[in-house]
Structure 1
């Protein structure tokens, strides 16, 4: 497969207002209407791009693309600032692209964050200081898992997938975002934050980090399938659970 299921977000802003044309995650999860409309738009995009829109593929893309929002926000701020934002659905917002309906712009709203004692903003009213990086990693896991649980509750009734598959995709989103933040920040192997946050399995997440060194370089084994192989002329992705041994 040549196209990635989670393209890079174009903007990550710390702000108090929702981006123009955007939506708070709490509103997106407030009922089935937005999610169903998004899935319909996504199916239309798949049809234009590939000539087919298998329902399972559209479903899988929506799950991965939504969960990339809290995962990306948490991973990037952890890596670059050693901070964790609240990640509550009311304090994250995103805007879908006009063509490809991917969350292109992401806004972290509000002033609450967790940080280390050495953080220059540790005395700010919204700051909660934790004693070390392991404690900060635990906060990120907890905040992300709480947001993912809200998504699973909202989307499970209209999804073609069971809850185990939804949580597998949530695990992939967090592990991939942490690995990507490391690589974007110049960590040679790109595994430091992924192994810090996902050093073991923390249910309902379905595995520890699966980033590993293979013969062709660093890679990761996916916990969930994106069903891109159902698209014309596409095959299984690298690390696909359908083809990758555990």
Structure 2
């Protein structure tokens, strides 16, 4: 996903996270649109799969935004739902671009912009990671509160997905930036252990010449491909 700072270049297909979280029917519409695409691709659209996809995709918006700026700039942006928007792709209805609408950020003392009005300075990386955790939790909590009554998932499943969204994003931005190991270090800073309401600390682990991680939640994609079973990193098949 790409990230821009400021208002999106156009309004077509852009969704404000705050507006989305204020209207529960819009998640139903998103799942229905996804269901149509899944039926076209796989011939069916199980309820758990549409719920799992949308849960994963949505939480990836604040997760990826936080990870990208933390990794590249050592900054933490506002993650308030009203300050994030995403553009919905077509025909597969997933977030393909993110807009961060608030230019303010938290940073370290040596940040070039540390003395500007938009910056709030914290003393070190641990403090910065703590701010990131808190802001992500606040956003995820609003999603869990709104989404939970509409699906057959318990709150632990929803917070497991939030854990995955943040830890996955840390690994991915390192990988995409050409330094997967740095993403692993970021993950250990942000999720050093199980911090409630997250369901685990970072689960990244070495695999061959690279890194992978054990998922805390299931996306239920396996229901679309009978006989294949869950992914190798799924908690359904991989012991903790």
Check whether TM > 0.5. Answer: yes
After TM superposition, the structure 1 stretch with the greater mean CA deviation from structure 2, 227-236 or 156-165, is: 227-236
Show the counterpart of 2:53. 61
Query: Which one has the bigger helix percentage?
Result: 2
CA distance in 1, matches of 2:59, 2:180: 26
Q: Secondary structure at the residue paired with 1:114?
A: strand
Cα 1:97–1:111 change in 2 (3 A) is same
CA distance in 1, matches of 2:37, 2:10: 23
TM-superposed CA distance for 1:179, in Å, is 0.7
CA distance in 2, matches of 1:103, 1:109: 16
Kept after mapping to 2: 8 A contact 1:51/1:232: no
Structure 1-normalised TM-score? 0.92
Kept after mapping to 1: 8 A contact 2:172/2:180: no
Q: Secondary structure at the residue paired with 1:242?
A: coil
Kept after mapping to 2: 8 A contact 1:19/1:93: no
Q: Secondary structure at the residue paired with 1:75?
A: helix
CA distance in 2, matches of 1:186, 1:206: 28
Q: Which residue, 229, 236, 241 being the options, matches 2:230?
A: 236
Instruction: Give the unaligned 5+ runs of structure 2.
Output: none
Superposed CA offset, 1:185-241 (max 9, x none): 222434111111111111001000000113574211110111111112543112110
Q: Secondary structure at the residue paired with 2:110?
A: coil
CA distance in 2, matches of 1:153, 1:38: 18
Q: Secondary structure at the residue paired with 1:168?
A: helix
Q: Which residue, 154, 174, 197 being the options, matches 2:190?
A: 197
Cα 1:25–1:19 change in 2 (3 A) is farther
Q: How does 1:1-246 map to 2 (within 5 A)?
A: 9=1, 11-17=2-8, 19-21=10-12, 22-189=14-181, 190-214=183-207, 217-233=210-226, 234-246=228-240
Kept after mapping to 1: 8 A contact 2:180/2:210: no
Superposed CA offset, 1:27-59 (max 9, x none): 000021211100111111111111211110110
**Structure 1 segments of 4+ aligned residues over 4 angstroms from their partners:** none
TM-superposed CA distance for 1:126, in Å, is 2.0
CA distance in 2, matches of 1:196, 1:97: 32
RMSD: 1.4
Kept after mapping to 2: 8 A contact 1:122/1:129: yes
CA distance in 1, matches of 2:149, 2:189: 33
